[in-house]
Structure 1
Amino acid sequence: MESKDYLRSQTERRWMELIEEVGRHRDLLADTFMQQVEGGRLFYESRVNAQELRATANSAFGLLLKELGGTAITEEDRDFPRRVGVRRARQGVESEKLTAAVHRDFSAIWSSLLSLSRPEDALILAVHAEDVWRVVDTFAGRIHTAYTEEVVAIAQERSMSVQSLVSQLLFDDHPSTTFIARAGQALSIAAGDGIWVAASVVAVDSALRQFTENQRRKGRVAYTHAMGGCTVAIWVAAANESRELLDIVNGWEHGADERELRQVHCGIAPLHRGLAHLHSAAAIACEVSMTMRPDHRGPATMSDVWPLIAGASLNERMPGFQASLLFGLEQCKDAERSTLLETVRVYAANGDVSTSAALLFCHRNTVMKRLRRFRELTGMDMTIPEQAAQAIVALAQKSFE
């Protein structure tokens, strides 16, 4: 098998011919790009004037083709990605959308190469495809670096600087290390700080907002920001919490703010460290908040809502799953069904007959009798973990009222 370097050397001349040919059709590249971004409506959401966008695309393809063709790059060329990144940041283009739009340069160049090549050029294109992607990806990286630096600069200039930074961290699931470091400095959050993230549906977010304000009054670092239909609260944990409660699902129950949090109807994520995972923590808190029952008291965690989420998913993918499991309970009288469900839920929460009997103020034999009756009606034995899990999921979604 011929080595890749040998193939590259043997195909270099024809490759350069193709690049030159593409360069002679540079206007068509810009046209293709504008079609792909729908004149700026896609990715840029019309924040960038179409005429400016096309001129920028034309210049971008000129630079990319220079690099592909090995042509000398001027200082103005080297500065071009920075200028683009700065301008797009000022125009309010979203980070991920900007990167996605720039990567469309690859498909425009590749489409042109395919249309201009001959059947015998297939090997040449295969050998040099990574050259095109490397040049475009490097170009996109330079733009993104300039963009993130400008976002920080803008945030520092504006009165809403904190909100700008928090927004970028919440909505960017892969922020650069440079941005994280600078944002952390501006927000007074160190890389090793533990961070709590909670969320409340906007309609009932007053308690969470008040809690966050109280944290600030105590001198704690705390912020709120809108995310989807939720208000997200972020605050820095005490030093001992960062060490002892990291990644514990119900860690808030053992934290310094436990008493105050019990008055807040919200979803809360496990304690995490630093700003790198703020997006995922906020997504968890919002999902929990939107799933938790309206009558839940205090914060809810992933442990509290997993049966609801699992049940919703199962019912969507397997209609009738829940009804088939609980059909027997539908035949019971209301009083018996209520007693059985209360017993099953109490037992599911602790897994011990004696403890359940004490909580239900009845004899342990009564608990066992009720569990047997539940098994007769549904076929689910609460003493078998797999069947107990099915019951928990099915009952989480079902209301008999």
Structure 2
Amino acid sequence: MTEDERWRGLIAAVGTQLPELVEKFLTRILPDPAYADSGLTLEDLRRSSFRSFAAMLAALGGKASEIDALADIASELGARRARQGVPLDSLVRAIRLDFSVLWDALAAPALGADPALLVEKAEVVWATVDRFAASVQERYLRELQEIEGADADLQQQYLTQLLAPAEPSPTDLSRIAGALRISPHAVFLVAAIDRNDGLLVRRRIRARPPRDVPVLTYDQGHHTLVIRPRTASSDEKLSFQEAALFDGVAVAVAPHADGIAGVRTAVSAAREIMKDLPMGSRGVFTLRDRWLSITAHRLSQVGCNPESLILSALGRCSEAERERLLEAARTFLELGSLVATADRLACHRNTVVNRLAAFEGYTGLDLQKPRDSALALLAIGG
């Protein structure tokens, strides 16, 4: 008997054990959470494993037509697992388990295979499994790209409707939420980032676990919007998962949006905060951080700059006195304490009291009154 005949005989013998090969494979793969929690049925796993082992054994037999069939099965498996949301690394790891299962069967003492033959054919077995894995991976990635492209197009279409100048009706909002697969009554994180950081954040979004909360992105001018339903906290503090998306970039976080209808207002707030950030900013910024700068800037845009009220009033005193009064006022507005202000300025508490009294005499603003201190903050506290 020639070597090829002995090899084909060994392949045929293992082919009679296909059900046992499948069960051994399932026993090894099911502990992987990506499969145990994937929602895939045992029937699906069993059927695809049976077809894969059968095709690999046929290809190992050396027929060109069977090698083509193996490529077809790999393509089908890759596309199906991409649609089912199985992580690629888990999928490839599972396929590479096929080698150990096949090899254990080929080397089983009961078959009495010639050790020299097994050594010679080990590379062939591994190359077949590796070629199958590469074909599955290639088709998986192509399918994933198509899915993401279609989802992105649909997402952009409905987000455009949500953020259109004309406010959507309640019926439209319900339809948009359904199309985006989000609850219309959820609390939403709405954030804005620089459009140049959009690619990085989208990559991080794609790398999330398949069953994670959906994250929507939308390019709007110089900014990319990020919209995510929130499962717990409804304040501006980011969860660990949310913060990981924005690590190393500047992100403007709006006050949370109650329901999908509130997303429109939150988008405006996030963009306003983002536009207010200095160049080169990094980190998380909220309305709490930027309200003073935004308000002062907006007032100055319409000719109501509070700074002019104070500076014109202080124009009646000398330059040195004006600087002392402004220093005392700014420090007190920051610290809110006469004692702390005196410590910061290295002077007596009565000196601070006298300077604040002089400030009030010139401007009419008593910084220990909330309304007056708010105006002073807008004017000189930024």
Q: Taking structure 1 as the reference length, what is the TM-score of the superposition?
A: 0.46
Q: Taking structure 2 as the reference length, what is the TM-score of the superposition?
A: 0.48
